Amino acid sequence: MVIDMCRTTLWPLLQSASEDKAGSPCYTIHQITTLIKRIGCGLYKLNARGKRVMVYGAANIHFPLAVLGVIASGAACNMLAPGPAEDLVSRLRQLECDIVLFAPGDGHVVAAAAAVLWIPGERQFVVDDSLRGDGFASNLDGARHWRCLLDNPGGDAYEWPTLSPNDAKSTTAILLYTSGTTGASKLAERKHYGLIGNVEQTLHHYTLRRRESEIVFCNYKFFGMGFLILGILIPLKARYKTIFPAGSDAEGITRTIERFRPTWVMAPKYLMRETLALPTRPNLDSVRHLLTGGAIIPCELIDQWQLSFGSQVQSTYGMTEAGFFTIPDPDEPVNDATTGVLLPSVEAKPVRHEGYLNGPEHTAQTIVEDGWIKTGDIGWVDEFGRFYIVGRQKDLFKVRGDKVTAAEIETAIIRHPEIKDVAVIPVTLPGDGEPVPRGYVVKIEESNLTVDNLISWMQHNLPDRMQLSGGVAFIEAIPISSVGNSKVDRQKLSEIAARTIASKNQ
């Protein structure tokens, strides 16, 4: 196999931000297309077409190619973050999947799951940062290097399936787990038609401002819809260069921005806060737009970022089940917490969703009779068609006749000068029928703030409806879900709260 690497005058569209080795991989559109065709051909010869194939583990720069290669084979691709072997067994069974492409560091988990499910080694492929398998030596019960897919005869001439409009509407391209932040994670199916449509809608809206060459740097979790659309599909469609992230902390990300000078950056709320809290202000003057979402983004955070770095903050609204709904106009200044206007061809009514895989009960809870999705969000629209999302119905508290959302309480608490981050969840105390708010708080490093100090501050500065009557606890970091779009893992916080409450009442 010979692939002409990026030592070329052609513009590379996919490049690794890795700093630990010289000559990190990068690829032009021609090289990307060739690799995708070869992966697709190799999987097609394993009879993957019409089936489900998993891409699993800690993502590297070749994972986007693996995902697109799976789709090119005619299979549906499931992207899954690393976890315990028993969880992988459960997911593979749910998918009825017997082909896994995985990261080298996750091989032992895959081997353990494969042994339970009798998946042979020739259907397990290690996807690392090498095309040639340099230094690869499998001791994982016969798992092969992914070059075995690339080396299949006929790969360069392979043609992926061409779908009619009707087939595109009924054929699954991607299976993604929802964030499960307030309950069990569900497996959402995205058809080719809806996925392509959302890419076109989002890109059309972004290009309302004239673009030349763009550099995209997406810092959402790889296994969510946000990264798929913003970090993979839109850059390829528009021929924008995309930088594959090599780290997840603010210092590493800002070094990457200073090094590659991207123009469009995607970052969840917690990374915005961490970046603003850095002791030395980084140089982010190349960034024209900072897109964020997956949480309620308060106006104060938007103002602070725009004043500090000068880039427009695009707070978005969407769902794994349907993609993006709204984004702020790129040509207009953002002066409040709007999530923007509806994307082209999106009505002021939720986007259709095909359902959850093998989950009719979840589908019935989410989709009304005429096929439209229930988002479960609380918000409003102004006279200019701008959307404002203020919370989730599941996180709405009723306090002595008043209503308040978890996001509103979080926005109020974060104003305390010694608080770095906060998450509020509903808990039900013994003897109470209604859920009440409980807070998990991250202090700044120098803080001597106590729980009693914080409660006293809240009593003096916040109205009764915003008091944390379910209690408050300090925590080192707010947990982030490994699936979805880098949302707070409220399910994990709920489990922590349940154990705490139970222990106090023993």
Per-residue pLDDT reduced to its tens digit, 216-271? 999 998 988 999 999 999 999 999 999 998 777 899 999 999 999 999 999 998 89
Burial of 79 (0-12, 13-18, 19+ CB in 10 A): buried
Write out pLDDT tens, residues 4-20.
444 444 788 999 988 65
The Cβ-side half-sphere exposure at 243, using a 13 Å CA radius, reads 26
3-state secondary structure string across 250-310:
HHHHHHHHHHHCCCEEECCHHHHHHHHCCCCCCCCCCCCEEEECCCCCCHHHHHHHHHHHC
Give residue 411's pLDDT. 87
Give residue 1's pLDDT. 46
Write out pLDDT tens, residues 278-293.
999 999 999 999 999 8
Q: Which residues pair with 27 in a beta bridge?
A: 14
3-state secondary structure string across 174-225:
EEEECCCCCCCCCEEEEEHHHHHHHHHHHHHHHCCCCCCCCEEEECCCCCCH
Say yes or no to pLDDT of 2 above 50: no
- The two tokens of residue 477 are 């970091």
Give residue 399's pLDDT. 73
Q: Which residue has the higher pLDDT, 21 or 61?
A: 61
Say yes or no to pLDDT of 433 above 50: yes
Say yes or no to pLDDT of 372 above 80: no
> Rounded distance, CA 364 to CA 382, Å?
31
Give mean pLDDT, residues 106-126.
94
- The two tokens of residue 45 are 């010869």
- Residue reference for tokens 């917490």: 337
Give mean pLDDT, residues 171-185.
75
Give residue 36's pLDDT. 97
* CA angle 128–234–298, rounded 5-degree value: 100
Mean pLDDT of the chain: 86
Q: Which residues of 220-249 are buried (b: 16+ CB within 10 A; e: fewer)?
A: bbbbbbbbbbbbbbbbbebebbbbbbbeee
CATH numbers and ranges of domains, the chain? 25-162 (3.40.50.980), 190-391 (3.40.50.12780), 393-504 (3.30.300.30)
Tell me which range, 171-175, 270-274, 399-403, 497-501, is most confidently predicted by mean pLDDT. 171-175
> Rounded distance, CA 160 to CA 171, Å?
14
Q: Which residues of 462-499 are buried (b: 16+ CB within 10 A; e: fewer)?
A: beebbbbbbbbeebeebbbbbbbbbbbbbbbbbebbee
Fill in the amino acid letter for 411.
T
Write out pLDDT tens, residues 307-363.
999 999 999 998 888 889 999 988 888 999 999 999 988 875 543 445 555 555 555
Write out pLDDT tens, residues 451-500.
999 999 999 999 888 999 889 999 999 888 766 567 788 888 888 988 88
Give residue 332's pLDDT. 86
Segment holding 126, helix H or strand E = strand 124-126
Burial of 457 (0-12, 13-18, 19+ CB in 10 A): middle
Whether this model's pTM surpasses 0.85: no
> Rounded distance, CA 223 to CA 208, Å?
28
Fill in the amino acid letter for 327.
I
